[in-house]
């Protein structure tokens, strides 16, 4: 089994793999998935296991260390970073399984769990487990997965959807081998092509009760580490924000290199000599650094709080704000760089062109939607709301 990656080893591994990842980018785009040699290298570095409990050979990294790794990967290739972020978030489910069940899913050092979005499946209780049916989309990394998960609503004996003591619909996740599902290749997109975020379906599949879980329910968590006082949505929001920041960082760096040499067709001096370009670079650099600093500082403060007590609503809102702000800034910087680069940025293979497409694919994901700022504003105004993604 690969050695459990410490924060330092994980970040060093991400940097060490940067040349391999960057060189693989054309193959990643063409195949719409990570190539086998890169997947093997990511496994060898333990990067699929960053958020897995240490008891299972995982890194159990703190959120701030995790996003540092994701940012490094995103600078080389956004799809690679996205796959690692998504599947690592899925592996947090191990903390909500009994140890034998967690070992069944994650005991193989090459085990990867992927799942799609939303509780769109249905689970019917039967002796020993559940009969599961559903179709899920956006299963990033599923082409490299050994297991898939499906989030479901539990169906009561009378055919209605089951509710908990507070009257909320019960959402339960089922885990099953990838080969038990029907996979549909629907990932024909403009950006993040290499994530292979396919759709998959099962029909009346029996899943043992021990391979189902209630995610992000404190009373259901079997792991004591600080990491598992954070919800999976916190790691997805922060991790995808790190992807956006990593993309923007590389685009801005590429533009700075371009500006040092490029002379516009109707001009007589380099872009670097233009006061307007100089000021724009300064503003973009400031926005990018500020968004990054807010995300890292917020996660560090929440980690200190989580070491002493469960995270409260204020901490959860802080994470939501920092992540949403970083996602928005990442997109804004990427757009500004694309326009400033002019015609150079439209050619396939240009470092700005591909990252521009990736940036806009990131901005369409649910964690990046502008409505999250409403949740922050509602909280600050004392307005009660259903903070689904907080």
User: What are the residue ranges spanned by the domains of the chain?
Assistant: 7-106, 113-216, 230-380
First to last CA, the chain: 35
| Predicted local distance difference test score (pLDDT) of residue 1 | 42
Best CATH choice for the domain 230-380 from the list 1.10.510.10, 3.10.20.740, 3.40.50.300, 1.20.140.10 = 1.20.140.10
CA–CA distance, 225 with 233 (Å, rounded to integer): 17
CATH 2.60.40.1930 describes domain 113-216: no
What percentage of residues in the chain have a pLDDT greater than 70?
A: 99
Task: Assess contact for 197 and 187: CB atoms under 8 A.
Answer: yes
Buried b (16+ CB within 10 A) or exposed e, 353-385: bbbbbbbbbbbebbbbeeebeebbebbeeeeee
| Predicted local distance difference test score (pLDDT) of residue 267 | 76
| Predicted local distance difference test score (pLDDT) of residue 7 | 87
3-state secondary structure of 377: helix
Say if residue 109 is exposed, middle or buried (CB neighbours under 10 Å; 0-12, 13-18, 19+). Answer: middle
pLDDT less than 70: residues of the chain: 1-4
CA–CA distance, 282 with 278 (Å, rounded to integer): 6
pLDDT tens column, 169-213? 999 999 999 999 999 999 999 999 999 999 999 999 999 999 999
CA–CA distance, 228 with 65 (Å, rounded to integer): 14
Residue 126 is inside which H or E element, if any?
Answer: strand 121-126
Say if residue 282 is exposed, middle or buried (CB neighbours under 10 Å; 0-12, 13-18, 19+). Answer: exposed
| Predicted local distance difference test score (pLDDT) of residue 45 | 95
| Predicted local distance difference test score (pLDDT) of residue 193 | 97
| Predicted local distance difference test score (pLDDT) of residue 247 | 98
Query: Within a 10 A sphere around the Cβ of 26, how many other Cβ atoms?
Result: 12
Task: Assess contact for 58 and 1: CB atoms under 8 A.
Answer: no
Task: Assess contact for 296 and 67: CB atoms under 8 A.
Answer: yes
On the CB side of 11, CA atoms within 13 Å amount to 11
3-state secondary structure of 59: coil
pTM: 0.96
- What is the CATH architecture assignment of 7-106? Orthogonal Bundle (1.10)
| Predicted local distance difference test score (pLDDT) of residue 6 | 83
């Amino acid at each position: 089994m690969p050695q459990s990656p410490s924060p330092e080893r994980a970040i060093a591994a991400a940097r060490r793999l940067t040349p391999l990842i960057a060189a693989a980018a054309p193959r990643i785009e063409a195949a719409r998935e990570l190539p086998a040699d890169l997947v093997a290298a990511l496994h060898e570095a333990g990067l699929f296991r960053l958020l897995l409990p240490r008891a299972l050979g995982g890194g159990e990294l703190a959120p701030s260390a995790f996003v540092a790794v994701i940012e490094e990967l995103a600078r080389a290739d956004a799809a690679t970073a996205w796959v690692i972020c998504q599947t690592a978030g899925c592996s947090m489910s191990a903390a909500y399984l009994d140890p034998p069940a967690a070992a069944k899913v994650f005991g193989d050092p090459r085990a990867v769990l992927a799942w799609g979005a939303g509780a769109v499946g249905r689970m019917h209780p039967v002796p020993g487990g559940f009969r599961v049916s559903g179709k899920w989309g956006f299963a990033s990394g599923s082409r490299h997965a050994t297991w898939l998960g499906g989030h479901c609503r539990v169906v009561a004996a009378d055919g209605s959807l089951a509710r908990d003591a507070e009257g909320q619909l019960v959402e339960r996740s089922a885990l099953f081998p990838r080969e038990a599902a029907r996979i549909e290749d629907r990932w024909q997109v403009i950006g993040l092509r290499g994530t292979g975020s396919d759709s998959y379906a099962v029909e009346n599949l029996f899943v043992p009760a021990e391979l189902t879980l209630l995610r992000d329910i404190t009373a259901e968590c079997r792991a004591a580490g600080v990491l598992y006082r954070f919800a999976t949505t916190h790691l997805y929001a922060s991790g995808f924000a790190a992807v956006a920041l990593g993309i923007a960082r590389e685009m801005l760096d590429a533009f700075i290199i371009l500006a040092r040499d490029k002379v516009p067709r109707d001009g007589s001096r380099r872009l670097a000599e233009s006061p307007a370009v100089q000021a724009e670079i300064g503003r973009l650099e400031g926005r990018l650094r500020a968004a990054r600093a807010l995300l890292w500082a917020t996660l560090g403060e929440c980690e200190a709080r989580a070491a002493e007590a469960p995270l409260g609503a204020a901490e959860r809102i802080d994470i939501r704000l920092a992540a949403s702000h970083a996602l928005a800034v990442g997109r804004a910087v990427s757009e500004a760089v694309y326009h400033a680069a002019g015609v150079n940025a439209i050619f396939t293979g240009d470092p700005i062109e591909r990252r521009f497409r990736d940036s806009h694919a990131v901005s369409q994901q649910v964690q990046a939607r502008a409505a999250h700022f409403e949740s922050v504003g509602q909280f600050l105004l004392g307005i009660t709301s259903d903070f689904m993604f907080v």
